[in-house]
Each structure stands twice: as C-alpha cells, then as structure tokens.
Amino acid sequence: MNTFLKFFTWAFIVLLPVVVEAQEVRVLSEALEFDGAIGASQRKTIILQNEGNTSKTYFLKNINGNIGSSQDMKICIGENCFDAKRDLAKIKVTLEPGEIVTDLYLEFSLGITETRGGFDLVFVNEKNIRESFIVEAKYDVINPEERADESDYDAIRISDVYPNPSNRIAQLDYVLKKPQANAKITINSFIGNPVAEFVLDPDQNTLVINVSDFHPGVYFYTLFVDNKNIVTKKLVVKK
C-alpha cells in the first residue's frame, strides 16, 4: 500500500504542472462550424486568451480528424495567411500576459462533395510541447443541386455582389420572401474589423454600396437573417 501511495503521489506531482500549464491559454471561441454548399469557402474567427503571466508562442503541430482531399484550409494571423496542410510549423501565434487575441482566422474551403465531418487544430508551446490548446471545428457540406438556386433561402433570395471587383459602386439584388424577417448585410475588413452594415428594406429589391471610400483590398460581406449568419462571401475593392 505504501508503495502504491508513493507512486500515486509521484505521478500527481509530475502531471500537475502539465495540467496547470495547459489551462493558461484558453480558446474563448466556440467550436467552429462550417455549413454550406459544395465549393463554398467560409471564414471564422479563433479567439484566444493568455491567462498566464508570461509571454507564450504556439505553433500548429497537428491537424487531427477528417479533411477531404478537395478541402483546403488557410490560417490567417492578421493579414498573413498560411496553408494549414503544408505550413504547420510556420503558423505561430504569440500571446502576451493577459492578452486576448482576436485576429486569428480559419478559412475553410468546403470541397467538391457532399459530406460532413470534423477536425482539431492542435497548437503547442514552442518551448514546452507538453503545453497545448486545441481548436475544434466541424463542417456540413450540402449538394447545391438539391436547391433550385444556391442563393434561394427560406426567407430571402439574394444575388452575389456585382461588379466584383468594384472600384466605385457595388450592389446586390434581393427579394425578401418573408417581409417580417430582419435581414441585413454586414461588411468586414480582411482582418475582421467591421466596416459597414446595411438593413435590407423589404420594400426594395436592390442594395447599393458605395465602396469609393474603402481602402483597396479584400472584404467579407455576410448576410444575417433574424441575427443568424446565413452566408459569407468576398468583396474585392480596387482603385
């Protein structure tokens, strides 16, 4: 019995620092969900917090789970984007003591077949590989042939923004099939900062967006219906 107690005490002392270290960086964002049609690409934000009192740098060590050969993944840190399948060790994020990181993004291409699955991104501390955190993600890819129109949703039928790229005016056409629905378009910069928001008037059929004051670059516009994220797509602004 004494031998067992000594072994248990030793194991507890050895494992305790690992548990404490692993809790110093927390993933504040919920599991990432990518739901959409074949060929779509979506972008989600990963929010992290360093609850420790020292600066920490993590790199992407593993991707565990099911990812199809036609599904591509990019991880963006600010404006720097990396191929998650090929650039594992290059993907690094540094968190200062108490810092909350909000400029880390996962862009996922849903691929060419109808499927569903999930995967985990395993980040480890470059100075102590026993210290890690995991970002969970799952996807559900539908066949667009099951829709008469990929842009035809329950409450709204909406076109893509055109022209795209645009240098002065961009617009989209829509029909609110449920006039009581609260529909809006939000525009965010490439790094996720809000740029503009437009409520879709049920008595109108076209939204005109003046992009002449936007800085050239890539933006993302998202359709919300009753505060639910329906779809996100790219808008390119050029001069």
What domains are there in the chain, each with its CATH number?
Answer: 25-144 (2.60.40.10), 148-237 (2.60.40.1930)
Average pLDDT, the chain: 84
Residue 188 has pLDDT above 60, yes or no: yes
Residue 118: exposure state from Cβ atoms within 10 A (0-12, 13-18, ≥19): middle
Cβ atoms within 10 A of the Cβ of 174, count?
A: 20
* Tokens of residue 213, six digits: 């004051």
pLDDT per residue over 101-156, tens digit each? 989 999 999 888 888 899 999 999 999 988 999 999 999 887 755 544 446 688 89
Helix/strand/coil for 8:
helix
Note the pLDDT tens digit of each residue in 111-123.
888 888 999 999 9
Q: Order the strands of the 32-37 sheet from edge to edge.
A: 32-37, 128-142, 115-125, 56-65, 92-95
- How does pLDDT run across 85-102, given as a tens digit for each residue? 888 878 999 999 999 998
Residue 224 has pLDDT above 70, yes or no: yes
pLDDT at 8: 42
Q: What would the mean pLDDT of 12-34 be, rounded to a whole number?
A: 63
- Please give the share of the chain, as a percent, with pLDDT higher than 70: 87
Q: What pLDDT is stored for residue 15 in this prediction? A: 42
Q: Average pLDDT of 177-199?
A: 92
pTM tops 0.75: no
Q: What pLDDT, on a 0 to 100 scale, did the predictor assign at position 215?
A: 92
Token look-up 């790094």 returns 191
Instruction: Give pLDDT, residue 20.
Output: 38
3-class DSSP assignment, residue 211: coil
On whether the CB atoms of residues 32 and 10 are closer than 8 A, the answer is: no
Share of the chain above pLDDT 90, in %: 44
pLDDT surpassing 50 at residue 19: no
**Of residues 20 and 78, which shows the higher confidence score?**
78
Per-residue pLDDT at 57: 95
Q: Does the structure show a pLDDT above 70 at 7?
A: no
Outline where the chain has alpha helix (H).
Answer: 2-22
Convert the pLDDT of each residue in 36-70 to its tens digit: 778 888 888 899 999 999 999 999 999 999 888 88
pLDDT at 186 over 90: yes
